[in-house]
Structure 1
Amino acid sequence: MSNAREVTDSSFQTDVLEADKPVIVDFWAEWCGPCRMLSPILDQIAEEHRDKVDVVKVNVDDNPGVASTYGITSIPAVYVFKDGNVAATSIGARPKQHFEQAFAEFLG
């Protein structure tokens, strides 16, 4: 489905919170149509900005701990984590331009 790396409840601390650059986290589920629409957009952002950010995916059905910790109630939910904290959020499937504008400070 996506080239983005899957992150789990057990790897979230290391892969996201302790990352040395900003991480865009796509909270998604297999059954979510808008999530599937968003995936190629985030893949493009990951490819175009790989030197500035990492893009990862968290399946909320398989990883309820992380989803609960961050209060994920609607998906797709895209969060940017920087230095272990939530730095920006976007809820819902949006065009690529939206993410480039909303997350511009992290994409450099």
Structure 2
Amino acid sequence: MRVQIVDNEQFDGSILPDGVSLVEFGAVWCPPCKTLLPILDEIAESYGEAVAVLQVDCDESPDLASRFGVMSMPTVVVFHNGEPVNKLIGLRPRSVYEQVIERYTAASAAG
């Protein structure tokens, strides 16, 4: 799997109803967003179908950015079972994103 680029029309249908979805809110001109993209690609490859990794361009979909309170880029919103549960603002190491994924995939397995 690769990072899937979504807009207003595709967004809601792209969030996994069961499981974990990571949504990166950024822009093509944002240097930290460019640095984050290969990390997200690696995560998407590692987790395959188990985790949806999505990308929203804030310039193309400002309504989505507003809906999730995105004030700076990149912002990664983590969804668990279709609901936003965590927000990571700014560029973080890959391990941080993986820890969040593991927290919620473990919660799904336990529940």
TM range (shorter): 0.7 to 0.9
Give the Cα separation in 2 of the matches to 1:61 and 1:53.
25
CA distance change for structure 1 residues 43 and 107 in 2, over 3 Å: closer, same or farther? farther
Deviation at 1:65, TM superposition (A): 1.0
Counterparts of 1:21-32 in structure 2, within 5 Å, are: 21-32=19-30
Secondary structure of 1:89's match?
strand
TM-score (norm 2): 0.85
Counterparts of 1:68-87 in structure 2, within 5 Å, are: 68-87=66-85
Structure 2 regions of 5+ residues with no counterpart?
107-111
Number of aligned pairs?
105
Give the Cα separation in 2 of the matches to 1:7 and 1:106.
22
Counting aligned pairs with the same residue, the percent is 36
Greater shift, 78-87 or 37-46, is seen at 78-87
Out of 20, 37, 42, the residue aligned to residue 40 of structure 2 is 42
RMSD of aligned alpha carbons: 1.6
Q: Point out the structure with the larger helix share.
A: 2
Counterparts of 1:57-68 in structure 2, within 5 Å, are: 57-68=55-66
Give the Cα separation in 2 of the matches to 1:20 and 1:93.
26
Give the Cα separation in 2 of the matches to 1:87 and 1:29.
23
Give yes or no for contact 2:33–2:73 (8 Å, CA) kept in 1: yes
Give yes or no for contact 1:76–1:91 (8 Å, CA) kept in 2: yes
Secondary structure of 1:10's match?
helix
Structure 1 regions of 5+ residues with no counterpart?
none
